[in-house]
Amino acid sequence: MLALACGVFVLPASVMAQDTPNYAIGVYLPQSHHLDNARRRAFADRLAGAFTKAVAGAATFSGKAFARRQDLGSFLKAGKIDLLVADGVYQASSGRGKVLAHALANGGTGGPAATLYAPSKVSLLNLKGKTIAMAQVVGGMTRFYVNMALSGEVTAKGFFGDIRTAKDTHSALGAVKSNAAAAAFAPADHPAATGLVPLVRGGAVPMAVLVDVKSVLPVELRSALVKALQSGAGRGGGISGWRAGRGKALSGALSALGAARVDRALPILAPADVLKVRPPAIRMKATGDIPKPTVGRASIYPTLPE
């Protein structure tokens, strides 16, 4: 069994006798704070170096960052990815492998809130029929953000106009600043949202998860990698730390990717001159016997003292 003694990773003879395996790490983080894929490549390289150091000869790791979901899918299908550090929404959609750890957003939360950003002096009602942008992490991103940020209020097709998808969140928020879109969905506190106003905030967006894609890594290696993440490896791009396990935000993302959770009742966002919102009928209920009032000559006297 592998062990950590005085901070040094110690290998059993059975592992030392084998050829040292190399594990490929795929990084797909289109909603992170990294400015571009070059920064994500640097993040992948740092992570691979930290993992290799953490296991002290038990294995080596190499990192590769992906800008497009289709490219990542091709590598996964070909079996060329062993570990995946991916956007939590992507993992919720794919359900691939074993989730070992989840990232914490800046501030130590499980994930930033799903947020709709727009220029100042723009209200949610102003966005009816307008173009909305978001990063195309998975095919159901529109459903995810509408459920997460606007659950019970509107449907994307019934309220917004065109939905414009971008390669990452920087590009989606940039579309708002260049007037190519009226608003954009993004994780809260994203640096590219500077100058824009959050109109609505909803449930948490899982920043990233570490996944054993093939679910074949030895338990000792898994433990060492999670400890490396918790010791500082993998920070950056809006990620402030890591915790072992799936995390609540990932479960929330899985739920939000399901069928739209819009109320059947008329949305409260509708203008009063367009839709008349009718409150439900009020029915008063009482239990037990209610004593009859005492009727006097000029007034009705209460049956109970004040």
- Per-residue pLDDT tens digits for 128-153: 999 999 999 998 888 889 888 887 57
Mean pLDDT of the chain: 83
47: tokens are: 């992570």
What are the residue ranges of CATH 3.40.190.10 in the chain?
Answer: 3-110+206-256, 113-204
- For the segment 226-275, what is each residue's pLDDT rounded down to a tens digit? 999 999 999 999 999 999 999 888 888 888 886 655 544 334 454 444 34
| Residue 297: pLDDT over 70 | no
| Residue 302: pLDDT over 60 | no
Q: Cα 267 to chain center, whole Å?
A: 25
What is the pTM (predicted TM-score) of this model? 0.78
CATH of domain 113-204: 3.40.190.10
CATH of domain 3-110+206-256: 3.40.190.10
Q: What span, in angstroms and rounded, lies between the C-alpha atoms of 249 and 99? A: 13
Q: What span, in angstroms and rounded, lies between the C-alpha atoms of 209 and 238? A: 13
The CA distances from residue 68 to 21, 37, 111, 230, in Å, are 27, 10, 22, 28
